[in-house]
Amino acid sequence: MNIKNYLNTISKSDQPYIIYKSEKGFNLYTNFSKKIILSNNNVVNFLNKISSKKKKLKKTDLYIGFFGYEILNNLIQVKLPRQKSIRFPKGIFYKPDTLINLPENLPYRSKSNLSRDKKFNININKNTYTKIFQNFKKKISKGETYQIKICTKYKNKSKIDPLDYFCRLSKTNLAPEAFMIKDKNFSIISCSPENIIFKKGSSISTKPIAGTLRKNRNINKSKALKFFRKNIKETKEHNMIVDMERSDLSKICKPGTVKLAKEKTVEEYKDLYHYVSLIKGKLKKKINNIDIIKAMMPGGSVIGCPKISTLNLLNHQEKENRNIYTGSFGFIKFNGDMRFNIIIRSILNYKGISEISVASGVVIDSNANHEFNENFIKAKALIDLFK
């Protein structure tokens, strides 16, 4: 197969498809025989119906798609107040009949001149952000939360070629959990670095990321590691998220099996360095799909901790629905194995609007100006695609 010609053809068609980062390149899923649009009413039934007993699998014996932020809150009985909404689906999963392996260097470049605005409007300006920040600091002082994430959104009007954006993003900012979805009325592209669930048999792992440092000529990975280790604020934030995700894993794992496999390492990306750990465990018997999803999602590193009380604080502060942001994208195989990321560093294009959501953490030692600027650093690789 000529991959370049195939990508050109599929990008111009109305045929939905999904691309997801694999170990050696990317997997392209298409020819969907089923498309399930999730709601708060059908999500439990959907998860319970996916077989976990099938042993001999075809590569397409899976559902692939995403859970939005709202539906994950609902699964753990956290209710969202009325918020401004674009009425985007709460989640969609697809059953593919075709899987094609793609190289890491995707050979596609758009020849279309689509309308796009290079300027983005932010939904929270610096003054508003600072007020929210100070309010959350008071909540931390009172012990209502220990860490909390403030979400900001960058939006513009645009028609985009999602495959072109994804290919360019992958060339400049390749991430281990990168993915894209192209459907008839929306697209999502993402350079997410963070895995929240990787399950194979009875083994399960999660990779919390907490800690961000902007890159410059004078900083390499070694210096970034020294920075994180000496920085009290970044260390506190990382330790809290690691402890919370260890606790989440412990709910579904055999006692004594939850271990830190890698502790406080540095990963390098286009504009920044991240502080990362890896936690592994062995699942208890009779743990099913929904038990795993409810224990691990929404991912603690993009919310704060403790999880439930912090979610309630966040949801009553935020005036707009997060949609896909801090939801999860991935797949569940028909033998129960699964892989899910946390949806961050993403563009949702829907109804002619592109939306980029980012968040930074507030702990007792945080600085409002630093955290506001950190949000822009996280969004920059995506904003640069529109130039």
Please check the confidence at residue 53 and state whether its pLDDT lies above 80: no
Give the structural domain span for 368: 3-386
- Quote the pLDDT of residue 110: 83
- Quote the pLDDT of residue 56: 83
The CATH number assigned to the domain holding 79 equals: 3.60.120.10
171 Cβ contact list (under 8 Å, min separation 6): 105, 106
- 350, 343 contact by CB (below 8 A): no
* CA–CA dist 201, 191 (Å, integer): 27
Please check the confidence at residue 116 and state whether its pLDDT lies above 90: no
Mean pLDDT estimate for the chain: 92
Query: pLDDT tier at 233 (50, 70, 90 boundaries)?
Result: confident
Please check the confidence at residue 115 and state whether its pLDDT lies above 70: no
Token pair listed for 363: 């702990």
The model's pLDDT over 178-228, given as tens digits with 9 standing for 90+, comes to: 999 999 999 999 999 999 999 999 999 999 988 888 888 889 999 999 999
% of the chain beyond a pLDDT of 90: 72
- With DSSP H G I counted as helix, E B as strand and the rest as coil, what are the percentages for the chain, rounded to 5? 30, 35, 35
Please check the confidence at residue 317 and state whether its pLDDT lies above 70: yes
* CA–CA dist 15, 18 (Å, integer): 10
The model's pLDDT over 55-69, given as tens digits with 9 standing for 90+, comes to: 789 999 999 999 999
The model's pLDDT over 238-296, given as tens digits with 9 standing for 90+, comes to: 898 899 999 999 999 999 999 999 999 998 887 789 999 999 999 999 999 999 999 99
- 88, 348 contact by CB (below 8 A): yes
- Quote the pLDDT of residue 353: 94
Token pair listed for 343: 């949806």
Higher pLDDT, 145 or 363: 145
* CA–CA dist 246, 240 (Å, integer): 10
% of the chain beyond a pLDDT of 70: 98
State the CB neighbour count (10 A cutoff) for residue 358.
23
Higher pLDDT, 49 or 349: 349
Rounded average pLDDT over 27-51:
95
Closest CA to 95 of 45, 46, 56, 26: 46
Query: pLDDT tier at 324 (50, 70, 90 boundaries)?
Result: very high
Q: Which residues face 198 on adjacent strands?
A: 205, 339
Q: DSSP character for 104?
A: S
- Quote the pLDDT of residue 54: 66
* CA–CA dist 268, 274 (Å, integer): 7
The model's pLDDT over 133-166, given as tens digits with 9 standing for 90+, comes to: 999 999 999 999 988 989 999 999 999 999 999 9
- Quote the pLDDT of residue 253: 98
Please check the confidence at residue 364 and state whether its pLDDT lies above 90: no
- Quote the pLDDT of residue 212: 83
* CA–CA dist 180, 174 (Å, integer): 13
Please check the confidence at residue 71 and state whether its pLDDT lies above 70: yes
Our count of domains for the chain comes to: 1
